[in-house]
Homo-oligomer: A and B are copies of this chain.
Amino acid sequence: MGNKAITERDKDFAQWYTDVVRAAKLCDYSSVKGCMVIEPNGYAIWEKMQEILDKKFKELGHVNVAMPVFIPENLLKKEGELVQGFAPEVAWVTQGGSKDLEERLAFRPTSETLFCDYYKDHISSYRDLPKLYNQWCNVVRWEKETRPFLRSREFWWQEGHTIHATEEEAKKETDQMMEVYRWFHHEILAIPSVTGVKTEKEKFAGAEYTLTNEALMYNGVALQSGTSHYFGQKFAKAYDVKFLNKDNKQEYVYQTSWGTTTRMIGGLIMVHSDDYGLVLPPRIAPKQVVIIPIGDDEKVDKLCNEYKDKLSRAGIDCYIDNTDKSPGFKFAEAEVNGIPVRIEVGARDLAENKITVARRDTREKLTTEADTDIVTYVKVLLDTIQRDMYDRAKERRDKLTFEAHNLEDMERILNTQPGFIHAMWCGDEACENRIKEIKGCKSRCIVEDGERIDDKCVCCGKEAKHHVIWGIQY
C-alpha cells in the first residue's frame, strides 16, 4: 500500500521523512554542502506561515526592518556568552572584492548584536520606547549533520527584537510572543505543542531565560519550534544601550528576542503526513481544494468552473487540475502534495446529481449532491479536517507522553518508545548530564506551575524542585 516512492513510516521513519519531502517536492539538496533549495511546494508553505505570523506580529504593534547580513568580528565579540554559544557555528567572510578584509565578518547566526548596535544610536528617552522590530531573513550556522528543513547550514526565519523601558513590559513581551507561537502551532498547524522555560543548560546563549514551544513528532522525538528570550539588561550593558527614564535618569533598556524558522515545515510533515505523502492542515495549506474534472464534458467543465468561482470568492484557495494527465494520476498527485480536499466531477455522477469529495487526511471518499451549497459544504469539511487533525495529533502526543520516577523508568521508556517524559528534577546540571547519557535525552522545558508528581529528583533522588518534560530531540 501507500505511495510507491515512499518508504513505510513505521518501517523506517527517517527514510519515510526524506521520501515525503522529495515526493511532495518540498525541498532538495544542492551543490552547496548542508544548504537546501526550497522548492515551490515547500516555499508556498513558508509563504503562508509568513503571511499568518506577520499579520499577527503587526497586529501586536511590531514593524519589519532589514539589518545587515554581516557582523564584524569585534561587534560580535562584545557579549561574551553569545559568542561562546555561537562561535563554533559561524561562517566567516574574509575576502571581498579580490582583497583580504581587515576584519573578518560573520554571516549572522542571529542578530542581537546588530540590533543593539542600531538601538544605541536611535533611542535617548523613554518616549522612544518600546521599539518592536522583526525581520524575515536567512541565517547561517555551520552544522555538521544536516537534514532537510530540520537542520541546515542556511535556514530562513523571523527574528523579533524588542527593547522596553521596564523589566515588567519586556517580560510581558516575552510571554506574549511565546503565546503567539503556541497559538500558531495549535490553531494553524494543528500541532498540540507544550510550552515552558528552558533550563540554564539549554537556554539561549546570553539570555536571562528562554521560553520554548516544543512539538512531538509521530515517532516520539521532540522538535523545538519557536523560542522567546528575555535578556534583561545584559546586552544593553555590553552594547551601551541606555535611555533617559521617567525619573530623568540614565537606565539600560530591557530586551527580548523571539524566533521561528523553516524547520516548522519539517514539524508539519513529521506530525501529520502518512505513507501516501504530505498531509496539510487546511489553515496552512497553500492550496486547500483541488477540483478534478473526469472526462471531456461540457457540463462537467461548467460545474468545475462554477465551483472554483464560488470557492475562490469565499476566500478558499482552490484550483482546477485541467492538465492532460489521467484522473488517476491527478488523484495521486493531489494526494502526495497534501491538498486537503479533492472534488471529483464526472459526467456519470453528474447525471445522478452527485459528486465525489475525498478527504486527504483520512482518505475517505464522500458523496454529495452536485447542486449542494458548495461553499458551506467545503468550509464545514475544511474545519472538520483541521479539528480532526489536531485531535489525532493530540491523541498521539498523549499516547507518547510518559511519567518517570527514577532512572530505570527513564531508560525503559527511552529504549522502548521515546516521547515527552514528565519527571521531577532537583535543578542540578549534573542530573541533566546523567540523563543525557540515555540516548541523548534532554530537558525540553520546565512546566510553569507544573503539578508535583514526585518529591524526589528522577535522577539523584534528592529533593525535587521542578516539573520537567524530557525527551530526545531533532
A contact set with B: CB distance below 8 Å: 28, 30-32, 35-40, 43-44, 46-47, 63-72, 75, 87-98, 104-105, 107, 114, 117-118, 121-122, 133, 137-138, 140, 142-144, 153-154, 156
Contact = CB atoms under 8 A, between A and B. Distances in A.
Given A97-B142, A137-B138, A68 B30 contact: yes
B93 A144 contact: no
A88 B99 CA distance: 9
B68 A154 contact: yes
Contacts of A39: 65
A96 B146 CA distance: 14
Contacts of A88: 97-98
B68 A35 contact: yes
Secondary structure at the A interface, as helix, strand, loop or mixed, is mixed
Given A66-B138, A70-B154, A107-B107, 8 more contacts: A30-B117, A31-B72, A35-B69, A44-B63, A46-B66, A91-B93, A91-B105, A92-B95
A140 B140 CA distance: 15
Nearest to A75: B31
A249 B31 CA distance: 27
A92 B93 contact: yes
A38 B63 contact: no
Contact of A64 (B43, B93, B114, B140): B43
Contacts of A94: 92-95
Contacts of A95: 91-92, 94, 104
A106 to B, nearest CB: 10
Nearest to A97: B142
A119 to B, nearest CB: 11
